[in-house]
Amino acid sequence: MASPIIEVQDLSFKYDQRNNENILTDISFSIQQGDWVAILGNNGSGKSTLAKLLVGLLSPQAGQIMIAGNPLTEETKWEIRQHIALVFQNPENQFIGTTVEEDVAFGLENQNIPFSMMKTKVDEVLDLVGMTPFRKADPSRLSGGQKQRVAIASVLALDPDIIVLDEALVMLDPKSRREILATLTQIQMTKQTTILSITHDMDEAMFADQIILLENGRIKQIGTPTEVFSKITHLEPPFVEKLRRTLQQKKRQVPEMFLTEDEMVKWLCK
Amino acid sequence: MNKLILGRYFPGDSLIHQLDARAKLTSAIYFIVILFLANNWQTYLLLAVFTILVMFLTNVRLRIYIRGVRPLIWLILFTVCLQILFTSGGKIYFSWGPITISHFGLINGFYIFCRFVMIIFISTVVTFTTKPMDLTDGINFLLQPLRKLKVPVDEFSLMLSIALRFVPTLLDETQKIMDAQRARGVVFGEGSLVRQMKTLVPIFIPLFTSSLNRSEEMANAMEVRGYQSGKPRSSYRQRKWQLKDTVSLVIMFILTFSLLVLRT
Ligand SMILES: Nc1ncnc2c1ncn2[C@@H]1O[C@H](COP(=O)(O)OP(=O)(O)OP(=O)(O)O)[C@@H](O)[C@H]1O
Ligand SMILES: [Mg+2]
């Protein structure tokens, strides 16, 4: 197996040094390039904190983070941020530009990219998220879902190797969410982009290559969707698993194991 | 909140709107300098006609310009009065100790008044017709020489543009907080002055905390998107210098020349 693009070792973190309790305790995992990883957990389990640690906005009390083989430190964080991008949970305060297109261009301006190249890139990503008609609009006057799209466009413009989405799709209507997910999957496939998606949407988590389940700042479970959903029963399950469990309760002969959507369809058609 | 006229932008597509921010800023500053060349009624008349013409070209109504002068009117009148009372010369109409009202005094007072009003009008022409962002870009350009003295001009103008971008957000927020406090039974703008001040406390404290949070989140967002102060950045807002802009500067020179001819 190739060396992982993200490797987290024994990470511990707390906001307040005076506190004894950690917000995150002994977090270790590794992620391969090109994977889609879903991070699940209850409110306050430390998902957003983990995201901020991964981009170097917070520094851990213990443990270390390796991105593409380089340890993330105060010195290396600027270099590493060229490879990793984060869409924040709150879309409100992540806008810097006065218009949508200027905001999308902000990250490109920071890389000192000439205007003509910026223009092409901005046009391209605005089109991908369907925000071209709003390019001259004031980002702070957009609806929640539109703000999230602009935030995603800003990240896509940078062509990062790793994208961390902190509940970045929650305000989108179901259809747009599917479209943006499809776009992201496409990018993940073609450019081998690694995507870490913090989410409460179990149907989205089902499609992940790997699920990391946090509970009270610790890793409760880590593995493929099949492994996680069959082991953890108190988690609100995705639709297919709900179906399987209901059928099981009704004493039908369903497989004992968790099924993916395809498998379920095959089994039902038998 | 909408009473604020000074520093507002009025969207439009007039000739003055189309001029480059750099041309407008330079011309305005230049105008204020050459204003001091005027010293007789001909020169003042020329400048007044020029000012009125420019104001007319912006397609913004005169009433709005006059509203812009209003907050400064006491300051202007005070200066004018000083000028009238302490200048002597010519025919004396009234005299009491060091205070005299003389012919010269009155004329000088009137000139000072015109000068003030013209300065305000010309600066409001710039702010009315230039988007705040273009204005910061223009200021940034004019301040570039200061970079040689290690003044962080680019950081300063980014700061200014972010501050400007937050003005509407903060106004919205104030409104929201006021509504929230009203829903809890606070009555604004009633009772004694002390009481009115007291009702402002529950607005300012939440406004303050939310602004601090906001700025922290914003700083994080800028950092993650690779903003590092002092690093060279390109700009997505492009400035185009057109023929019109050159023409506007030429007009300023013609104006200077005419002033030099007409002044005594
Ligand atoms: N800036 C901060 N200062 C102090 N404590 C914080 C800060 N941000 C978060 N916390 C605390 O850290 C814990 C984890 O917060 P975090 O935002 O990481 O949760 P989360 O898993 O993202 O939750 P959600 O699903 O609601 O987004 C919470 O108990 C929270 O109170
Ligand atoms: Mg969160």
Judgement on whether residues A22 and A131 belong to the same structural domain of the protein: yes
- Please determine, for residue B59, whether its predicted confidence score (pLDDT) is greater than 60: yes
The pLDDT assigned to A1 comes to 57
Judgement on whether residues A214 and A268 belong to the same structural domain of the protein: no
Q: Is residue A82 part of a domain?
A: yes
Judgement on whether residues A160 and A258 belong to the same structural domain of the protein: no
Judgement on whether residues A91 and A128 belong to the same structural domain of the protein: yes
- Say if strands A194-198 and B99-102 run parallel, antiparallel, or are unpaired: unpaired
Q: With bands split at pLDDT 50, 70 and 90, how would you rate the model's confidence at B2?
A: very low
Ligand 1 pocket, Cβ-based, cut-off 6 angstroms:
A 15, 23, 41, 43-49, 89
Judgement on whether residues A179 and A246 belong to the same structural domain of the protein: no
Judgement on whether residues A218 and A266 belong to the same structural domain of the protein: no
Write the residue in A82, A118, A140 that is nearest to B169 by C-beta.
A140
Closest CA to B19 of B250, B245, B175: B245
Judgement on whether residues A148 and A29 belong to the same structural domain of the protein: yes
Tens digits of pLDDT across chain A (270 residues): 578 899 999 999 999 888 888 899 999 999 999 999 999 999 999 999 999 999 999 999 999 999 998 999 988 999 999 999 999 998 888 888 888 999 999 999 999 999 999 999 999 999 999 999 999 888 888 998 999 999 999 999 999 999 999 999 888 998 989 999 999 999 999 999 999 999 998 888 888 999 999 999 999 989 988 888 877 766 677 777 777 778 877 877 777 666 677 777 777 787
Output the CA torsion sign for B181, B183, B185, B188: positive
Domain boundaries, given as residue ranges, for chain B? 15-131+240-262, 153-224
Judgement on whether residues A261 and A138 belong to the same structural domain of the protein: no
Judgement on whether residues A192 and A259 belong to the same structural domain of the protein: no
Phi then psi dihedrals of residue B110, to 5 deg:
-65, -40
Asked if B16 and B10 touch (Cβ cutoff 8 Å), the reply is no
CATH of the domain at A122: 3.40.50.300
Q: Tally the domains of chain A.
A: 2
* A70-71 sheet: strands from edge to edge: A24-31, A6-13, A62-67, A70-71
Judgement on whether residues A128 and A198 belong to the same structural domain of the protein: yes
How far apart CA B170 and CA B78 sit, in angstroms, is 34
Q: Is residue A1 part of a domain?
A: no
Judgement on whether residues A61 and A194 belong to the same structural domain of the protein: yes
Minimum distance, in Å, between the CA of residue B249 and any CA atom of chain A: 28
Using left for φ > 0, alpha for ψ between -120 and 50, and beta otherwise, residue B163 falls in alpha
Which residues contact residue B123 at a Cβ distance below 8 angstroms, ignoring those fewer than 6 apart?
B28, B32
Q: Is residue A52 part of a domain?
A: yes
Judgement on whether residues A201 and A252 belong to the same structural domain of the protein: no
Domain that holds residue A213: 6-228
DSSP B93-120: EEEETTEEEEHHHHHHHHHHHHHHHHHH
Q: Is residue A45 part of a domain?
A: yes
Q: Which of A39, A47, A50, A214 to mutate to test the pocket of ligand 1 (most atoms within 8 A of CB)?
A: A47
